Chain A
Amino acid sequence: MSIASQTSDRPSPPPARIDPEEVAASHARRKLRENLRKTILYGVLLLGAVVFMCPLYWMVTTSLKTNAEAYLFPPTLFPQLLQFNNYPDAWNYEGMQFPRWTLHTIFITLSVMVGVLLTSSLCAYGFARISFPGKRFWFFATLASVMLPAQVTLIPLYIVFFKIGWLDTFNPLIIPAWFGGGALNIFLLRQFFMGIPAELEDAALIDGAGRFRIWWSIFLPLSVPSILTIAIFTFQGVWNDFYGPLVFLSSPDNYTLALGMNLFKGLYGTQTQYLMAMSTLMTIPMIILFFVAQRYFIRGIVLTGINR
């Protein structure tokens, strides 16, 4: 899937009679046309990129204005004086608990990531490398579960969590991730595991290594790129999740960052500069992650075909 494989300018079949002047003229015409095409293309792309990036620019610049300047008409395209103190001011806003909510979000994100990576790779190994009765059924069931809207299972689970006292705790957000870690992740890792040569495994089996040992010290180290891909998507999904926390968490003391920001907007919606500062802060880890691990992002989308 490399881009370099596509070459648009293949030499056309040579003309029967070669007239140097005509060749030069046709070359010039073609070059002109090619340049025109490139210019138009660059123009369209540049316009599109600016349209796509402008909202983010506006979010960041608003976060660096005073409240009065944010509401100025006509608006200033760049802050008159950069208000960096908006960030600590928003972070420590009275009545809000952004540091605490951030810690909660980090804790939930990491707990889910560990669960997803461990259990999805265990299951993927079982599906890829061991033959046993019922395997096809369970694999199909795993994949089919993707189609089910979350709301179908959510209501009975909510009732059960209510009865056993798990509402307003992190358990409903973390524990389910430790049961296989998502069908698509299992699928992705299984595909990768199936490509690992059997000889490696056989040699280890003859040396007396158990399956568990093989999974841990052969399969996991060999599949680091796939594992990183899953880690990144899990991180992104949990960090950005709004619906799950909204359903299961109710008291502000237990909120995540996403819920906390929604609370802030409800109470102090006109403090736009602070809201934009917190939005920027929440976005920064995702941007850093994207630029550090860009190829795993792209790879994950291409392999699973899902933009999560």
Chain B
Amino acid sequence: VAAIRLRHTKKYWRDTIQGYLFIGPVVLGLLIWTFGPMIASLVLSFTDYPLLKSPKWIGLQNYIDIFTRNDELRAVQSLQVTATYAVLALPLGVVLALLVAVLLNQKLRGMAGFRTAFYLPTIIPAVASAFMWSWLLQPDFGILNSILKELGVANPPRWMAEPESSLLTLVLISGWGVGGSMIIFLAGLQSIPDVLYEAAKIDGANDWQMFWRITLPQLSPTIFFIIVTGMIGALQYFSTAYLMTGGTGGPLFSTYFYNLNLYDKAFKWLFMGLASAMAWVLFLIIFVLTLIIFRSSDAWVYYEVQR
């Protein structure tokens, strides 16, 4: 018995050492690149720290400034821009992706080609697609306004060139990238058991009823997932707005997203303390919203009872 126990402990220790050797990279990575910096940025958020000087403890002042000194910092304004974008782009993305996925789930010849066409935009580099859209939507020479003028529209929208339309333009452009969510919906649609539809047909249900009573409930876990990841993505929106406005978030700060603002504060002005506080505000907003969506999911996400 003693010998067995000895061997057991030997194996136990060998496995522990080997286990940590194997997961060593990610353990070190989490400590060096995640936990360490997280604590550091939380501490920094309570300091005034222009990069080239030393940090000075100022307590909650950064957080107070974020919410009260909107004239200089534009933090609240950029938060509003981001929230508006998320509120418009997220539902548009979900509905459009679902609609396209349902259409692409029909059994027809040539469907693979259609799927490729709708997915392809998502693999285009952000830089290329931003410049492409800038060119397409150029208000005076762009192809879209040329077409609109040919069709007799006297004053077509000036897209990114006017504060009234610029944010909506970015929302529309985001619709071009629904391919990713579409593929996830498609996989979800294909995992719905046929039996359900067959049973409904025997009971005399039409397509519309089957969509509302079977497809949507069965798809609700997928919808839930898309909403969570889409929300997180929308609140961190950056590249397209930066590239299309030359980093200004213009015109008149109408597309000055929160992350654009944070980028300016951190890497242009080197206000490391303030920028850290802004990052933590963003993190808290994402965290709370994620929590709310998770809590609400009991009411509307349908899970198959585990058998």
Interface residues of A (CB under 8 A from B): 1-3, 5-8, 10, 13, 38, 41-42, 44-45, 48-49, 52-53, 55-56, 58-59, 62, 70-71, 73-75, 119, 122-123, 125-127, 130-135, 138, 141-142, 145, 147-159, 162, 176, 178-181, 186, 211, 215, 236, 239-240, 242-243, 246-247, 257-258, 261-262, 265-266, 272, 275-276, 279-280, 282-283, 286-287, 289-290, 294, 297-298, 301-302, 305-307
In B115-149, the 8 Å CB interface with A consists of: 116-129, 131-133, 135-136, 141, 143, 146
A155 touches which one: B133, B190, B239, B272 (CB < 8 A)? Answer: B272
* Residues on B with beta carbons closer than 8 Å to the beta carbon of A10: 198, 201
B176 touches which one: A55, A119, A302 (CB < 8 A)? Answer: A55
- B218-245: CB near A (< 8 Å → 1, else 0) gives 0000000100010010011011001100
Taking A1-B190, A59-B132, A147-B232 as contacts, is the C-beta distance between A75 and B143 under 8 angstroms? Answer: yes
A279 touches which one: B111, B127, B262 (CB < 8 A)? Answer: B127
Whole-angstrom distance between the Cβ of A250 and the nearest chain B Cβ: 9
* Residues on A with beta carbons closer than 8 Å to the beta carbon of B136: 55, 58
CA distance A150 to B239 in the complex (A): 14
19 contacts between A and B (CB under 8 A): A1-B187, A52-B121, A74-B146, A75-B146, A119-B26, A127-B23, A142-B26, A147-B290, A152-B38, A153-B37, A156-B44, A159-B51, A162-B51, A180-B29, A243-B238, A265-B243, A275-B131, A280-B128, A307-B183
Cβ-closest chain A residue relative to B135: A272
Q: Does B75 contact A (CB under 8 A)?
A: no
Contacting pair A153 B34 (CB below 8 A): yes
Q: Does B246 contact A (CB under 8 A)?
A: yes
Whole-angstrom distance between the Cβ of B247 and the nearest chain A Cβ: 9
* Residues on A with beta carbons closer than 8 Å to the beta carbon of B282: 149, 151-152
Whole-angstrom distance between the Cβ of A163 and the nearest chain B Cβ: 10
Contacting pair B127 A275 (CB below 8 A): no
CA distance A283 to B27 in the complex (A): 36
Contacting pair A242 B117 (CB below 8 A): no
CA distance A123 to B108 in the complex (A): 43
* Residues on B with beta carbons closer than 8 Å to the beta carbon of A142: 26, 30
Whole-angstrom distance between the Cβ of B240 and the nearest chain A Cβ: 9
Cβ-closest chain B residue relative to A145: B34
Whole-angstrom distance between the Cβ of B169 and the nearest chain A Cβ: 13
Contacting pair B190 A211 (CB below 8 A): no
Contacting pair B183 A301 (CB below 8 A): yes
CA distance A41 to B278 in the complex (A): 48
* Residues on B with beta carbons closer than 8 Å to the beta carbon of A119: 25-26, 29
Contacting pair A41 B106 (CB below 8 A): yes
* Residues on A with beta carbons closer than 8 Å to the beta carbon of B113: 49
* Residues on B with beta carbons closer than 8 Å to the beta carbon of A44: 103
Q: Does B279 contact A (CB under 8 A)?
A: yes
A59 touches which one: B25, B34, B128 (CB < 8 A)? Answer: B128
- B239-257: CB near A (< 8 Å → 1, else 0) gives 1001100100000000000
* Residues on B with beta carbons closer than 8 Å to the beta carbon of A153: 33-34, 37-38, 41
Contacting pair A155 B276 (CB below 8 A): yes
The 4 closest A-B pairs by CB, nearest first: A307-B180, A179-B29, A126-B22, A180-B26
Q: Does B15 contact A (CB under 8 A)?
A: yes
Taking A1-B187, A52-B176, A147-B290 as contacts, is the C-beta distance between A71 and B103 under 8 angstroms? Answer: no
Q: Does B167 contact A (CB under 8 A)?
A: no
A122 touches which one: B22, B129, B132, B191 (CB < 8 A)? Answer: B22
Whole-angstrom distance between the Cβ of B136 and the nearest chain A Cβ: 6
Whole-angstrom distance between the Cβ of A4 and the nearest chain B Cβ: 8
* Residues on B with beta carbons closer than 8 Å to the beta carbon of A38: 108
Whole-angstrom distance between the Cβ of B293 and the nearest chain A Cβ: 12
Q: Does B80 contact A (CB under 8 A)?
A: no
A276 touches which one: B120, B123, B131, B187 (CB < 8 A)? Answer: B131
